Amino acid sequence: MIVIAVDGSAANGKCGFGICSDKIKITSPVKDFILSGISYPTIFYDETSPQNGTNNRAELLGMLYCLHYIETLDEDKYTIICDSQYVINTITIWFPTRLMKGTEREVLNYDIISILYEKSIEMSNKGYTIIYKWQKAHQAQYKINALPHEEKVIAMLNKQADELAKEGYKYEKPTILRS
């Protein structure tokens, strides 16, 4: 099973997200979101409207990108770590009820949530097993160091994803950073 951490960040009207595993680091801006030739024209970050550049949108887009990234790998079992309870709850609890409300007017971030829902169903139908876990964010390094080994690895991945998310808006497009 591969463990991947995902995080999104919005600060000063700019958004980015980061994805991190023991094998790869990905950072990206949230802007005219295009991934491997798949364009989501209704999902965008408009620099003239900073209210669109929210942390929740960045977190959701990071998760969507992560699911696409997983499809490029050979493994079929994953644990995805995310420090956003909003994203974890959206995927594990709220999908059906939020989407049954039906439209963008009634559901915040409907454009992303509807695509994320379709993608998660598609991946489930293809045989992927994905466990979504919430991880406490922004822990002090001394607290991380005191954790048991497995928890320490997860906390460190989450911390790296957070750092990548904060840098994501600096790049022109999704960027793979090799360690």
- For 30-76, what is each residue's pLDDT tens digit? 655 544 444 444 444 444 444 456 788 889 988 998 998 888 888 99
Burial class (CB in 10 A: 0-12, 13-18, 19+), 46: exposed
Instruction: With a cut of 50, list the residues of the chain below it in pLDDT.
Output: 34-51, 178-179
Residue-level pLDDT at 129 = 96
What residues contact 52, with CB distance under 8 A and at least 6 apart?
Answer: 44, 45, 46
Domain ranges of the chain: 2-177
- Is the domain 2-177 a CATH 3.30.420.10 member? yes
Check if the beta carbon of residue 42 is closer than 8 Å to that of residue 179.
Answer: no
- pLDDT in the model for residue 101: 65
What's the pLDDT score for residue 13? 62
CA distance linking residue 109 with residue 101, whole number of Å? 13
pLDDT at res. 99: 67
Residue-level pLDDT at 144: 81
Q: Could you tell me which residues are beta bridge partners of residue 56?
A: none
pLDDT of residue 115: 84
Phi-psi region of 109 (alpha: psi -120 to 50; beta: other; left: phi over 0): left
DSSP code at position 91:
I
pTM of the model: 0.82
Q: How many CB atoms lie within 10 A of CB 43?
A: 18
What local confidence, expressed as pLDDT, does residue 52 receive?
A: 56
Name 133's bridge partners: 81
For the chain, helix (H) and strand (E) counts, in that order, are 6, 8
> Phi/psi of residue 51, each to 5°?
-65, -20
Q: How far apart are CA 168 and CA 11, in angstroms?
A: 11
Residue 79 tokens, joined: 């644990």
